[in-house]
Amino acid sequence: MYNVLIVDQQKSNHEKIKLFLQESKQDFAIIGEVTSAEQAEILLEKTEVHLIVADDVLPKKTGLQLFIDNSERYPTIHMILFTDYNRFNSSKDVMAQGRMDFLFKPIRRNDVVKSIIHMSQIIDENVKKSNTLKMVRASYEGHHNVFKDRFLINLLHGHIDSDLTIFNQMDYFKIPYDKSFTVGVIKLDHYKTYQLALDEEERQFLIFNALNIVSDYIESNQLGFVFINRYDELSFVFTTEMGEDDLFNHAYNLQELLASVQNIRVTMGLGKTYHRPMFISVSYHQAQAALRNSHYLGQGSIIHVNYVPGKGDIAYFYPRDKEQLMIYATVNGDLKASLNYLDTIFEALKVDNHLPEHYYQIMIIDLLVAINRTALENGLSIEDFFKSYVRLGEINTLNNLSQAHLYLKDAISKICAYQLKGLQTSDEQLLDALYRYVHTYYASKISLRRAAQFLRTTPYHLEQIIMNKEKQTFYEFCMDIRLNVSKELLRNTAESISSISEKIGFSNPEYYIAIFKQHFHMSPATFRYDGKDRIVIK
């Protein structure tokens, strides 16, 4: 049973509302009848309330303000509000929460009963969700290590790009850390032999037992932390400052412990030491590179990345994800974002002072080609710009970091300016143009890619605008327009529901009816019916 509170300064309306609640045959109990928002708030403090049926016009605080002020503090409350259209028009955002229904004055009996039934269903769904959430929260602590492991895996693979975020999560998961970060990877040798010799439970226990041995050593020496990276690997992070000799000594100790206690051989790769947690992923990739070169010393060895020939530091630091974002931003004409990503890339390039001169020339050409290709793939050809601007002879004269950075800044600035000439001048204009496009072609097969090509922008940029401005996906944006058109046809024509569904782009009338019900909590036929209900509340 759900608790209902009636708030209306006209006590005669209280009796009518009670009759509507009885007529709805829903499982409600009236726990209070008051005439002001202030009285309602006193009751909210004392009793759990699921539904408030209120008039918007109250002595000091409106019914809408009553809900706004208390909805966060009391997440179980829902409201049916009697109001007029002008008040509703300025408060649509509240309705988006799904916990409020507006009924416009004059109020009809049938409308109130339908709203009570509708809100009863919503309350029932929300109570079920709340109870489910409580059960999940109750079991969360038992699965705490699952989230901790996911954090550590994301940390290793560079999916967290903020030192502050990493420190906050380390604190949350109670992971010890100090001033430096060095990653080591312990790989079980001859794992294929174990696969053949052991059953599944014994194989799982093998890596788990190794974890316990290494964890005990690291914790007793206050070195950092360790976890299972994959079925045949452990990764540890030493967070205490130490020299290379101490690092190797601890690695040898771990190797000997695993051999003596568990009778297994391991090979270890060690990365460099850094003083920012964001570079844990760099150290990890270096440790993996050291392992890949274990053939130099053989299995059972300990290899530091400093003794591995080949890659320089830039191979581990170069932010390829930021490069891709810079390319998208440039194609979309977003100069500020493009230059920010470019600065990030060149900050990363500073870590390696031994890049050959021709590296910068190749990098510039690769980036410009990638920008041009991305533009072509999104129907935004900028080949004319490249023909008039790019000169290979000029690029071949650039031989240092500063020159390359300045050249790309200038090139990207000009590409963005060129792109903006052909694009809409503002996000609002682009959204208006999209609305007109969808309103024209809603009966056709509309896709994000086709719409973006028509509007001379990229799918990524268009989708971001819709999400930022409308808080919707492209699909939801189009569906709203289709359904609103169908409402007009239902209201103003005698066409069959099947014909209307086809007109707005649905090949299956049953699917249209199901979508309509999902959005408006009634069938198209019910929406079309215009009952002559008696006015009961003015």
Asked if residue 352 and residue 288 are part of one domain, the reply reads no
* Segment holding 28, helix H or strand E: strand 28-34
Single-letter amino acid, residue 127: V
Asked if residue 180 and residue 130 are part of one domain, the reply reads no
Asked if residue 391 and residue 267 are part of one domain, the reply reads no
State the Cα–Cα distance between residues 58 and 37, nearest whole angstrom. 7
Q: Is residue 357 part of a domain?
A: yes
Instruction: Count the residues in the chain.
Output: 538
Confidence of residue 227 (pLDDT cuts 50, 70, 90): very high
φ and ψ of 167, to 5 deg: -60, -40
Question: Would you say residue 533 has pLDDT above 50?
Answer: no
Q: Is residue 439 part of a domain?
A: yes
Q: For residue range 318-369, list pLDDT tens digits in order.
A: 788 889 889 988 988 888 989 999 998 898 888 766 677 788 898 899 999 9
Q: For residue range 106-147, list pLDDT tens digits in order.
A: 888 888 999 999 899 989 988 888 888 888 888 887 888 889
Q: Is residue 146 part of a domain?
A: no
Q: Is residue 534 part of a domain?
A: no
Taking residue 227's Cβ as centre, other Cβ atoms within 10 Å add up to: 20
Q: How far is CA 313 from CA 59, 349, 401, in A?
A: 70, 9, 15
Asked if residue 391 and residue 441 are part of one domain, the reply reads no
Asked if residue 506 and residue 414 are part of one domain, the reply reads no
Q: Is residue 331 part of a domain?
A: yes
Query: Is beta strand 233-238 parallel, antiparallel or unpaired with respect to 181-188?
Result: antiparallel
Among candidate residues 375, 405, 422, the one where a domain is terminated: 422
Among candidate residues 311, 343, 359, the one where a domain is terminated: 311
Residue 287 confidence (pLDDT): 94
Q: Is residue 495 part of a domain?
A: yes
Domain of residue 95, CATH code: 3.40.50.2300
256 and 186 Cβ atoms separated by less than 8 Å: no
Q: For residue range 476-521, list pLDDT tens digits in order.
A: 899 999 999 999 899 888 888 889 998 898 888 888 888 888 888 8
Confidence of residue 188 (pLDDT cuts 50, 70, 90): very high
Q: Is residue 293 part of a domain?
A: yes
Asked if residue 524 and residue 439 are part of one domain, the reply reads yes
Q: For residue range 398-420, list pLDDT tens digits in order.
A: 988 999 999 999 999 999 888 77
φ and ψ of 136, to 5 deg: -65, -45
Asked if residue 440 and residue 352 are part of one domain, the reply reads no
Single-letter amino acid, residue 247: L
Can you give the residue range of the structural domain that contains 260? 157-311
Percent of the chain with pLDDT over 70: 92
Q: How far is CA 442 from CA 431, 462, 470, in A?
A: 15, 17, 18
Among candidate residues 390, 422, 454, the one where a domain is terminated: 422
Asked if residue 177 and residue 100 are part of one domain, the reply reads no
Asked if omega into 319 is within 30° of 0 (cis), the reply is no
Q: How far is CA 192 from CA 66, 231, 262, 329, in A?
A: 67, 11, 17, 46
Beta-carbon-side half-sphere exposure of residue 378 (alpha carbons within 13 Å): 26
Domain of residue 471, CATH code: 1.10.10.60
Q: For residue range 35-84, list pLDDT tens digits in order.
A: 999 999 999 999 999 999 999 999 999 998 999 899 889 988 999 999 87
Q: For residue range 20-39, list pLDDT tens digits in order.
A: 999 999 989 999 999 999 99
Average per-residue pLDDT for the chain: 86
Asked if residue 303 and residue 176 are part of one domain, the reply reads yes
In three-state secondary structure terms, 188 is strand
Domain of residue 263, CATH code: 3.30.70.270
Q: Is residue 496 part of a domain?
A: yes
Residue 312 confidence (pLDDT): 58
Asked if residue 259 and residue 387 are part of one domain, the reply reads no
Number of domains in the chain: 4
Single out the residue of 367, 384, 395, 390 nearest to residue 418, CA to CA. 384
Asked if residue 273 and residue 257 are part of one domain, the reply reads yes
Question: Would you say residue 93 has pLDDT above 70?
Answer: no
Asked if residue 105 and residue 170 are part of one domain, the reply reads no
